[in-house]
Amino acid sequence: MLRRTLFFSVVLVSLAFFIEAQQHRQSRTKRSSQTQRHRRRARSLKPPVTSFVTDSGGRELIVRLLDIGQGDATYIRNGSSKVIIDGGPDTAAFGRYLDSLSLNNSTIDVVILSHQHLDHYSGLRELFKTSRHIRVQYFFENKDPAPAVTLAELRDSILSRMDRDSLIYRDTDDPCSNGRPICTITMTGGAKLHLLAPLPNGDGPNNRSAAVKLIGPDSASFTMWLAGDAEHDEINWFDATGYNRNPGIRVNVLKADHHGSCNGVTPRYLELTHPQWVVASLGARNDYGHMHTQAKAIYRTAGVPWYRTDQNGTITIRASGKPGGGFTITPDRPGTDLDGPSDRTSQQGACTMGMK
Ligand SMILES: [Zn+2]
């Protein structure tokens, strides 16, 4: 009884949703140390699944890796809390998901942009379309300077809502505005997200990806690691900087970094994350050769099966939140360890030498 009372007290104190630490207004000044890399282009978008079973409230944690084409878009639901990580390359495709997930006229508690590439931020502009009446409570991104007009458009929408006091805009380099690299977000069903500051001096947008460790309401049942498009430099840094110990990166499910690129995985990374499943988000026809043969070989050698959105469609993970309840992972279309039409062997040096 006491434990039950304590649990409900904790939930009540959390007041539906909270983020540790106080809000501090972010400076609009952008760091100027980053170099601009090529823009990713969206290709071969497939129409997304158009209807979902209504996501329940309660303690169940639901993660949907959306079939958004060549890009990333993840929707997380737990209790009444809603979180979106990246919005894919295309507003129309992401908009159809907002419709099918019944997110119009609702509040999204947290939106996280992992990094400044079009295949991650472009669809997020749809959240701010007036006719959708979507309220965004917190928006996180690293605020690095980037010249893309479409990114400027997104940032203008964010700043305009911030000026109206309807949105809190946070820098992933200081995600809780308290000088600490880890910000813990608690969802109303008891799931937690640790939002982790990116590599401070990454050599481009990919290596400036914010990482997220998602922990189910029953932490023994489900955990997941998502690190945007982090490449070897940042992956090694996750290890060196101590994220491997706090909050720990050993998880049940790993979102393949960088759409299954060989520069987004190393044997050591799989040793540390030790996932039961890898899920990759990519378009069937992409210019990059994703998923790379070398990446698949590393997953295969480690004995980790994968699902991929271009072949399996949207991938849904559910964790009941009950102690020992485990989790399920269900793709729209069956088949594991599938190949795709664009898969090829990468010639980039990072994938042919110095792997560890
Ligand atoms: Zn990407």
| pLDDT exceeds cutoff 80 at 14 | no
Residue 39 has pLDDT above 50, yes or no: no
> Residue 191 in contact with residue 222, Cβ under 8 Å?
no
Residue 261 CA to residue 131 CA, distance in Å, equals: 37
Mean pLDDT of 11-15: 37
Q: Is the pLDDT of residue 356 over 60?
A: no
Neighbours of 344 (CB within 10 A): 14
Average pLDDT over residues 122-135: 98
Nearest Cα to Cα of residue 36 among 131, 133, 115: 115
User: From the CA of 117, how far away is ligand 1's center (Å)?
Assistant: 6
Amino acid 354: pLDDT: 45
Q: What is the pLDDT of residue 343?
A: 98
Q: How confident is the model at residue 54 (pLDDT cuts 50, 70, 90)?
A: low
Q: Provide the pLDDT for residue 8.
A: 40
Centroid of ligand 1 to alpha carbon of 336 (angstroms): 22
Distance 154 CA to ligand 1 centre (A): 17
Q: How far does residue 290's CA lie from ligand 1's centre (Å)?
A: 11
Contact 183, 20 (CB under 8 A): yes
Domain annotation for the chain: domains and CATH numbers: 43-331 (3.60.15.10)
Read off the pLDDT band of 311 (50, 70, 90).
Answer: very high
Please say if the pLDDT value at position 53 is more than 90. Answer: no
Could you tell me the distance, in angstroms and rounded to a whole number, from the CA of residue 229 to the centre of ligand 1?
5
- Give percent of the chain with pLDDT exceeding 90: 80
Q: Quote the pLDDT of residue 353.
A: 56
* CA-based nearest residue to 257, from 215, 199, 216: 199
Give 329 or 8, the one with higher predicted confidence: 329
Closest to 195 in 3D by CA, of 174, 179, 216, 218: 174
Length of the chain, please?
356
**What are 137-195's pLDDT values in tens digits?**
999 999 999 999 999 999 999 999 999 999 999 999 999 999 999 999 999 999 999 99
Q: Answer for the pair 133, 104: CB distance below 8 angstroms, yes or no.
A: yes
Query: How far does the centroid of ligand 1 lie from the alpha carbon of residue 303, in Å?
Result: 25
pTM (predicted TM-score): 0.86
- What is the pLDDT at residue 72? 98
Under a CB-based contact definition with an 8 Å cutoff, are residues 79 and 188 in contact?
A: yes
Say yes or no to pLDDT of 55 above 80: no
Sheet bearing 327-331, strands edge to edge: 168-171, 135-141, 107-112, 81-87, 73-78, 61-65, 315-319, 327-331
pLDDT tens profile 240-279: 999 999 999 999 999 999 999 999 999 999 999 999 999 9
What is the per-residue pLDDT for 349? 86
